[in-house]
A and B are shown apart, each in its own frame.
Chain A
Amino acid sequence: MTKTITIDPVTRIEGHARITLQLDKKGQVDDAQFHVTQFRGFEKFCEGRPFTEMPAITARTCGICPVSHLMASSKACDDLMAVDIPPTADMLRRLMNLAQLTQSHALSFFHLSSPDMLLGWDSDPAQRHIFGVAAKHPELAVDGVKLRKIGQTIIEILGGKKVHPAWMVGGGVNAPLTEETRQKMLDMLPEALDIARRTIKWYKQTLGQFGEEVRTFANFPSMFMGLVDKSGGLEHYDGYLRVTDENGKTVEDMIDPKRFHEVLGEAVEKFSYMKFPYYKARGYPDGMYRVGPLARLNISDHAGTPIADQELAEFKDLHRGAVLSSFQYHYARLIEIIFAIERMKQLLEDPMILDPHVRARARGNRNEGIGVAEAPRGTLIHHYKINDDGQITWANLIIATGHNNLAMNRGVKQVAQHFVDGTKLQEGMLNRVEAVIRCFDPCLSCATHAMGQMPLHVQLVDPTGNVVDEVLRD
């Protein structure tokens, strides 16, 4: 007799995802599916809009990472306009992207994942949240708030506001930097770096406590993909696509991001609204790959800033070839925060950042445009087609979280097989199933971005529909 365990929702009350665990006759997990049940339709309702509106429209895709959509969309518009943006605009966009990376990674690490690490996966869910962390480790909670605030403040200084800033446009940005604001941002960076360095030190000291989670949280061979710069270094704004295999061997390199469709395919499954991108050469679903911080560090030869380079070398020593455990997404985030802070300092200290020429102006000069950038969660692709009047006729957004869809499903299965006993449902087991998804920090707007008593409904159902066991947490 087979049974099904359903975790529904994975998220807050208005949750958009659920997990189904299929049990075999012995009550062991046979298969797992991570369902994304929200439907947004952005690609469809963009049709007919002037392409110049796309950065502002697509930024509304998400309240968590609007900057990333602004970035990819503005780059797609650059492509439609057939312009090379001014070098200072390139620098300023990079600056905002790195600030976004800092605040987003800080949110993921300190607010969402640190409660599990600090308070334990088996701890009382009523206390397992950032407030619980603050009660026991106030210094860490203060650091998390401060680091996120620094990233958010830099975004606000550049864009005029923290959420949905309209400063980035096709052709560049719409306002140059002043000496006063440059200095204001520079003044914040030393404290940010201090926080990042003591946090990574703490993480490395405590990593040994999480051996079982490291072994079982989506720890399997897969490919990795992301952008690298022309020297093979860590890149978040431009550069080239690189794909490496499970042994760390490069299988695609220096791919112009506009040729992404030559290496990536997209599949769909009935059980989820989220698409399933895959590496074409291996087919579906064998072409599973991961993106995001873990992938970016695995594919990069070096970081390009002093402290991040030291940390990256240490990170790569974790596993020969490629670091395969998705638990180490947390570690990778901390290294990327250090890189972002160091890189922002380099950019701000370059006199060219104050050049007033920050925007190229043109109408649509091509009928097809592609913009690719690294969002905090991975490679983000915006692909548009326009008519001769500059109206969008077709749009495709390949979201960072989507790239990880196959790996997240596989990860849920792995952790469920290790921790779930089909005869008895326990809080720690349920939380680990969710925690493996948190490692990827998926942006389903809400999914796994809840804290405290995350509502969970888990049922064991036999083939005739009878509930044989049930846990309700609300």
Chain B
Amino acid sequence: MTPSVLIIGYGSDLRGDDALGQRAAEMLLERYGEVANVTVLQRASLTPELAHDVSLADVVVFVDCDADAEPAVITRHDTVPIDDASAAMVHFLDPPALLGWSKLLYGSEARGVMFTMGGVTFECADELSTPVESAMPELIDRVSAEVDAALGDREVVDA
């Protein structure tokens, strides 16, 4: 059975490069919009109700900007749920807390993967910086490779 994959690209779309997660989701939606077992969500932040969406997935791929990383440098790492999410806030969560929240509420065993890319500017703006914009195709390729691998390398069920 083909696993189901949830992609969540998030960040503020009014804060320069912080929008790269949402922009990536937009581009990935073009690629996977017709694939039945892939769901792509654009969000300003990770909110508690996403726990339910996470619970329906086998693999969750998060895409976000990293304010502390070198500009346009892409990083991939596994994300594991945290058991004690007491420091998490009500209105937004980080990926480990969201996975933990979904595990606690729904028994989710979703595997989490996080892709980040370093940003350049976070001032009020509705466009990405040139370095980040230039690196977006590479980010999309790397996320797509992860998604395709999760789907079983081409065992994609078309809607």
Contact = CB atoms under 8 A, between A and B. Distances in A.
Contacts of A472: none
Given A135-B104, A142-B105, A111 B48 contact: yes
A318 interface: no
B49 A148 contact: yes
B105 A141 contact: yes
A161 B25 CA distance: 14
A112 B48 CA distance: 12
Contacts of B101: 131, 134
A107 B90 contact: yes
Contact of B49 (A152, A164, A449): A152
Contact of B44 (A12, A107, A127, A163): A163
Contacts of B130: none
Interface string B16-58: 0000000000000000000000000011100111011000000
A149 B49 contact: yes
A129 B105 contact: no
B105 A126 contact: no
B87 A453 contact: yes
A154 to B, nearest CB: 12
A134 B52 CA distance: 14
A97 B138 CA distance: 41
Chain B contact-residue range equals: 20 to 34
B85 interface: yes
Interface string A82-124: 0000000000000000000000000100011000000000000
A130 B90 contact: yes
Contacts of B77: none
Interface in B69-92: 84-91
B84 to A, nearest CB: 8
Contacts of A449: 90-91
Contacts of B105: 134, 138, 141-142, 145
A449 B48 CA distance: 14
Given A134-B105, A135-B104, A129 B86 contact: yes
A451 B90 contact: yes
Contacts of A285: none
Nearest to B42: A161
Interface string A126-163: 11011110110010011001101100100000000111
A453 B86 contact: yes
Interface residues of A, number: 31
B48 A145 contact: yes
B89 A12 contact: yes
A452 B88 contact: yes
Interface string A59-88: 000011000000000000000000000000
B88 A131 contact: yes
B86 A134 contact: no
A193 interface: no
With a 10 A CB-CB cut-off, give which of B49, B87, B89, B104 has the most chain A CB atoms: B49
Contact of A112 (B44, B52, B87, B90): B90
B104 A138 contact: yes
Contacts of A450: 89-90
Most buried by A among B47, B51, B85, B86: B86
Contacts of A146: 49, 52
B19 to A, nearest CB: 13
B104 to A, nearest CB: 5
A101 B101 CA distance: 24
A434 to B, nearest CB: 14
Nearest to B102: A145
A306 B47 CA distance: 33
A141 B91 CA distance: 15
A452 B49 CA distance: 18
B85 A145 contact: no
Contacts of B106: 142
B94 to A, nearest CB: 14
Contacts of B89: 12, 450-451
Contacts of A453: 86-87
B86 A127 contact: yes
Contacts of A131: 84-86, 88, 101, 104
A384 B111 CA distance: 51
Nearest to A103: B49
A64 B91 contact: yes
Contacts of B90: 107, 111-112, 130, 449-451
A112 B52 CA distance: 19
A449 B86 CA distance: 14
A138 B52 CA distance: 13
A134 B104 contact: yes
Nearest to B51: A145
A152 B90 CA distance: 15
B116 to A, nearest CB: 22
Nearest to A108: B90
12 contacts: A63-B91, A107-B91, A111-B48, A111-B90, A131-B101, A132-B86, A142-B106, A152-B49, A161-B42, A164-B44, A449-B90, A451-B88
Q: When A and B form their complex, which 6 residue pairs have the shortest distance between CB atoms, in order from nearest?
A: A149-B49, A452-B86, A111-B90, A163-B44, A131-B85, A134-B104
Interface of B: 42-44, 47-49, 51-52, 84-91, 101, 104-106
Given A138-B105, A145-B49, 5 more contacts: A131-B104, A138-B104, A152-B49, A162-B44, A450-B90
